[in-house]
Amino acid sequence: MTVLVTGGAGYIGSHTVRSLGESGREVVVLDSLETGHSEALLGADLVVGEIADFDLVTKLCRERNVRSIVHFAAYKSVGESMSHPLRYFSNNVGGSTALIDAAVAAGVEQFVFSSSAAVYGSPARVPVTEDLLPRPESVYAETKWMVERVLSWIGETRGLRSVCLRYFNAAGASFDSAIGEDWSVTTNLVPIVMKATLGKRPPLEVFGSDYPTRDGTGERDYIHVVDLAEGHVKALDYLDVGKPSLTCNLGTGKGSTVLEVLSATERISGCGVPHVFSARRAGDPAVVFADPSLAERELGWRARYGIEEILQTAWTWHSTHVDGY
């Protein structure tokens, strides 16, 4: 039995491909390489193609005896999703429904989906639990919520069991620095902090210094990419023993403010992080962090690493790969 990993040449996908290999699973990756890198696969099996290609996916699933799919392939920029909404609906929703259609046609039984804490919008309370009604505040978040709904209905009507994982803020790199994030395709805080520290971009803008937090800057739940990868292995273990569909958070349950990220980066790197303060951005909540207890209870998963390991591995990766792969 093989696991098909879509988007496996991307940031979170490549760490997961590695963890799946280490768990003894046979893996094949389907990736268009639009934002991913074949080098990130460290030799894992790659098919270059589109998730929306029904014939390719059904053939691949049948030939390779695929029983499970882990689906990362998507566009992920919140800002770009607002300026190019149909690009996002087309790839993230249209691509995913075509993939699910092909998966069901080829007899795939289980599916793990990369969802996002963005589905909660500005959460009414923290820590964020899964029973909060999703209220997407961007096209990107809406696409994630739509695919969750599609999976719920396909589970009900066609028996495809799924785990939807709502990631909080993925960050960090592998501990041996073999793989990490491509800062040219991300708008996430940690790679931008690293880029500014290395003098590869203008000073970082800190949006808002008057939030009701410890130091006035926004607080988020940063989760190590290696922990996230292990969450996917646990999700497959869960599905492998026949358990029912599940939606759960993958976060640490602990937040760090922007200024805490900057001061820890300065300590780790020994360099100042050039930054300027700007006004708050519309729609940015003050504090968001997960209640990860459902994942612990149902998947037996819990984050092992914290912000120190995230920033240490991110710094080592970025400072040794300033030009990427």
Ligand X SMILES: NC(=O)c1ccc[n+]([C@@H]2O[C@H](COP(=O)([O-])OP(=O)(O)OC[C@H]3O[C@@H](n4cnc5c(N)ncnc54)[C@H](O)[C@@H]3O)[C@@H](O)[C@H]2O)c1
Where does this chain bind ligand X (CB under 6 A)? 6-7, 9-13, 31-36, 50-51, 72-74, 76, 91, 95, 114, 116, 167, 169-170, 185, 188
Residue pair 134/119 in contact by the 8 Å Cβ criterion? yes
Q: In sequence order, which residues have a C-beta less than 8 Å from that of residue 316 and are 6 or more positions away? A: 173, 177
**Least distance from C-beta 285 to ligand X, angstroms?**
16
E strand or H helix at 163: strand 161-167
The radius of gyration of the chain from alpha carbons, rounded to an integer in Å, stands at 19
**Least distance from C-beta 239 to ligand X, angstroms?**
18
**Least distance from C-beta 26 to ligand X, angstroms?**
20
Q: In sequence order, which residues have a C-beta less than 8 Å from that of residue 141 and are 6 or more positions away? A: 78, 116, 118, 119, 121, 134
**Least distance from C-beta 102 to ligand X, angstroms?**
12
**Least distance from C-beta 210 to ligand X, angstroms?**
26
Nearer Cβ to ligand X, position 52 or 287? 52
User: Beta strands 222-224 and 169-171: pairing type?
Assistant: parallel
CA distance 108 to 246: 17
77 CB neighbour count, 10 Å cutoff: 17
Nearer Cβ to ligand X, position 76 or 195? 76
Nearer Cβ to ligand X, position 182 or 209? 182
Nearer Cβ to ligand X, position 183 or 211? 183
Q: Report the catalytic residues.
A: 140
Q: CA dihedral in degrees (82, 83, 86, 90; nearest 10)?
A: -80
Nearer Cβ to ligand X, position 98 or 271? 98
